[in-house]
Amino acid sequence: MEFHLLVISFFIIAFVYSSVGFGGGSSYLALMAQPFFALVPEVIRPTALLCNIVVVTGSTIIFYKQGKLSWKEIWPFLVASVPMAFIGGFWKLQDAVFFILLGITLLIASLFLWIQHDTTNNATSKIDGTIHKAALGGFIGFLSGLVSIGGGIFLSPILHLLNWAEAKKISALASVFILVNSMSGLIGQFARGFPSLDWQLMISLLVAVFIGGQIGSRLGSTKFKPVYVRRITALLIFIASLNILKDHL
């Protein structure tokens, strides 16, 4: 029962998140952290990151083909985030600390998603300076490594609020940011020791998110209103975060 529920849920999460340029890591974590599944952080963390990588790889390729990725513009956000995500992934957290930090992180993420608005194609206000961009990326990267999300769920709303660029360029940056930080955080976890995973479940989840992500990333820009998708997602994450905190505080 739990096996099939996870597979179906992961497909839906990947479908929804990829439609707005995310990987779904926050919701994978929120779902797996529920006591019903009785999963430990050593399984939850790499599972979320592996699924993230599968989903946003497809999104990144699509954005690249659309010409929405400019490495000159995005590298400052990545230069510090990658090593910081590795450090966060390598950092060993006690189970209780992990779940409390996860609950707080998801609570904040839900608020960020709710207040996010779409920028216009004539965006003029940007974050000035490589150092500021690197500092923002590094902070989010470290947090991403600690709790095993890609970080796009924080970076994207901030860039929208600052009117950094048009919505599609922000989504493109978020996809790359999630991809490289998920990889870095996963390598950090594996550097501490390879986890014992149920590979039958893992492969099923990876297939589910691959299919869901491919469908969602292709339909998202034409079929869905991103603001509604984000707010429904924000509400679900908010409820899940409260449930996690209720069980572990």
Write the burial class of residue 38 (CB in 10 Å: 0-12 exposed, 13-18 middle, 19+ buried): exposed
Cα(28)–Cα(110) distance, integer angstroms: 14
Tokens 């505080």 sit on residue: 249
What is the total residue count of the chain? 249
pLDDT tens digits for 70-92? 888 899 999 999 999 999 999 98
Query: Which stretches of the chain drop beneath a pLDDT of 50?
Result: none
> Residue 109: what pLDDT?
87
pLDDT tens digits for 160-190? 888 888 878 888 899 999 999 999 999 999 9
Cα(218)–Cα(35) distance, integer angstroms: 34
Give the amino acid at 176.
V
Domain ranges of the chain: 2-248
Interacting residues of 187 by C-beta distance below 8 A, sequence separation 6+: 86, 89
pTM confidence score = 0.88
> Residue 139: what pLDDT?
96
> Residue 86: what pLDDT?
97
Is 171:21 a contact under the CB 8 Å cutoff? yes
Interacting residues of 73 by C-beta distance below 8 A, sequence separation 6+: 165, 169, 173
Helix (H) or strand (E) holding 199: helix 199-223
